[in-house]
Structure 1
Amino acid sequence: MLRSVNGIRYVTPLREGGSLPAIVEADDGRMYVVKFRGAGQGALALVAELISGEIARLLGLRVPEIVFVQIDFALGRNEPDAEIRDLLKASVGQNIGLEYLPGATTFDPAAGDEASSSIASLCVWLDAFVLNVDRTARNANLLLSEGTLWLIDHGASLYFHHNWPTAKEKAVSRFEPIREHILLRWAGDIAAASHTAHASLTETKLNEILRLLPDEWLILESDEVTPSQRREAYRDFLLRRLEASNIFEQEMIHARSQLV
């Protein structure tokens, strides 16, 4: 189960990308980086964040705690910025937040930051598995805190759900964008990462993650699929992707051979 907290103070926006995340203080006394369902990509970015983040955790990777953040209409009532006020109004209800890591720095190889082979291999495997196009030198989405590497921001993963008819094709794709992954140069143990993933990502565990998704995030105006059917569609994609993992693993190995 994910904890649920109430947002009590909008602290500051993080104007990155189209999701307009922000640091929000919650009623548990903690700060969270919140993604809002009223932002450009809507609830689908929140779905991707939850599924991919919790899969990463299953693999043993470090992800800040993910919580549900309840946004009340009153939160944005006195916000002077009209864009933020409209965003909060459109996001009333259940949103998603990642625990804020104060003092964390962005992972930057140019500054001498490195990753272990085991962590890099698992992270690259994860991002190929969930089709995450957004962990590159341009946007690392990795933080270093007290010597530990943390994965953040998975809203761009599982992008097939913006066009469901492509799901079957994407499930068996090589995922060529993996060649731009910021950790690829250190990912020297893909076989071990694959073994860990296949041992960890059981159908039971994947179903547990999918049951966390709120029904309202799974209802799209463009179709008549029920939330239960949508969860089944995500599960079928993930299981098909796992079964076809050798396809994207070979792409990862080939791409890395071009670097080292």
Structure 2
Amino acid sequence: METYSVQKILSSKKIGSSWPLLVETLVGKYILKLSGTGQGKGVLVSEVIAGDIADRLDLPTPKRILLELGPDLISEDDDPELVRLLRSSLGVNLGFDYIPYAKSILEDPEFLMDDWEASKVLWFDWLIENPDRTRANPNIIVRERNYWLIDHGAAFPFQYNLSGLTEYSPTRPWLRAKDHLFYDYVNRLREVHMLNAEKLTFADLEIVTWGVPDEFLQGKGYRLSYDEISRKKEMFAAYLWKRIKGFTVSGF
């Protein structure tokens, strides 16, 4: 991914436990997701892997770049909580292309997604175990006839409980399936799976997971070695591969 420095913070908005910022860079405006939030850099790991998988499945997501956040951008006049968050996020963070005039799919009743495309989104969210594509909060933005999938930070929940990870964890049923915005298309998933699985070989998944910046995989308060970071990347690839190989519609 390309790397740029944040030139200016234009606006901020707290959303739950996250606090995305609209920032100015030399290459335009981006939405900045900070590494110092509650779940730490795991959110950014999820976003990078999910975004790269979506690219391979021809599912649109905002372009991603790495953004350097420097201490000179912190103003003591800002909200104290935001100041603390910025201080804990100095260094490399993740930016998403800002798409002006885009709005939630819920705000555009005229936008109708093709059945096949909706089925692909359902399969994608099953693969990454994304809980955040519900009818109440679809995390799809639209503009004119285009759409983009956003906010995949809650995907890959297994990374927060590695001690509970077993050989069978990747093939467990997706418990959030029935909450999904496109669950009604579950009967098309076998056909979708046959096509998508061809685009995500184990070699493809290794390329995806090795694309995660090493800095995002570092521990909080301690440093991991190159070998330890490499094992983390391989773990994500193996987990995804086992999910794909273990796919069954009954898992929904």
- SS of the equivalent of 2:151 reads coil
Cα deviation digits, residues 98-131 of structure 1 (max 9, x gap): 1111001101288354311111111000101111
Aligned to 2:247: 245
Q: CA RMSD in A?
A: 2.1
Shift in alpha-carbon separation, 1:132–1:77, aligned structure 2, 3 A: same
Q: What runs of 5+ residues in structure 1 fail to find an aligned partner? A: 253-260
- SS of the equivalent of 1:94 reads strand
**1:76, 1:84 within 8 Å by CA — same for their partners in 2?**
no
Aligned to 2:215: 216
Q: CA deviation at 1:167?
A: 3.3
Q: What runs of 5+ residues in structure 2 fail to find an aligned partner? A: none
Aligned to 1:257: none
1:162 to 160, 163, 176: 160
Q: CA deviation at 1:97?
A: 1.2
Aligned to 1:189: 188
The percentage of counterpart residues that share the same residue type is 26
Cα deviation digits, residues 41-85 of structure 1 (max 9, x gap): 110000001101111111110011011111111111355222222
- SS of the equivalent of 2:129 reads coil
1:1-260 aligned within 5 A? 2-28=1-27, 30-77=28-75, 79-108=77-106, 111-168=109-166, 169-186=168-185, 189-221=188-220, 226-246=228-248, 249-252=249-252
**1:115, 1:183 within 8 Å by CA — same for their partners in 2?**
no
CA distance in 2, matches of 1:122, 1:110: 21
CA distance in 2, matches of 1:109, 1:125: 24
CA distance in 2, matches of 1:221, 1:90: 11
CA distance in 1, matches of 2:72, 2:213: 22
**1:64, 1:152 within 8 Å by CA — same for their partners in 2?**
yes
Q: CA deviation at 1:222?
A: 8.8
CA distance in 1, matches of 2:171, 2:159: 15
- SS of the equivalent of 1:245 reads coil
Cα deviation digits, residues 135-169 of structure 1 (max 9, x gap): 11222110012211210010000011010133334
Cα deviation digits, residues 178-198 of structure 1 (max 9, x gap): 111112235653233212211
CA distance in 1, matches of 2:163, 2:241: 17
TM-score, with normalisation over the residues of structure 1?
0.88
**2:172, 2:251 within 8 Å by CA — same for their partners in 1?**
no
CA distance in 2, matches of 1:5, 1:183: 36
TM-score, with normalisation over the residues of structure 2?
0.91
Q: Which moved more, 1:114-123 or 1:224-233?
A: 224-233
**2:202, 2:238 within 8 Å by CA — same for their partners in 1?**
no
CA distance in 1, matches of 2:89, 2:77: 14
**1:64, 1:99 within 8 Å by CA — same for their partners in 2?**
yes
Matched pairs, number: 248
**1:45, 1:156 within 8 Å by CA — same for their partners in 2?**
yes
Q: CA deviation at 1:220?
A: 2.2
Q: Which moved more, 1:88-97 or 1:200-209?
A: 200-209
CA distance in 1, matches of 2:77, 2:30: 18
Shift in alpha-carbon separation, 1:186–1:106, aligned structure 2, 3 A: farther
Q: Read off the aligned partner of 1:21 and give its amino acid letter.
A: P
CA distance in 1, matches of 2:127, 2:157: 12
**1:10, 1:25 within 8 Å by CA — same for their partners in 2?**
yes
Cα deviation digits, residues 201-246 of structure 1 (max 9, x gap): 1222212221221222212259967101111111111111111122
CA distance in 2, matches of 1:92, 1:76: 10
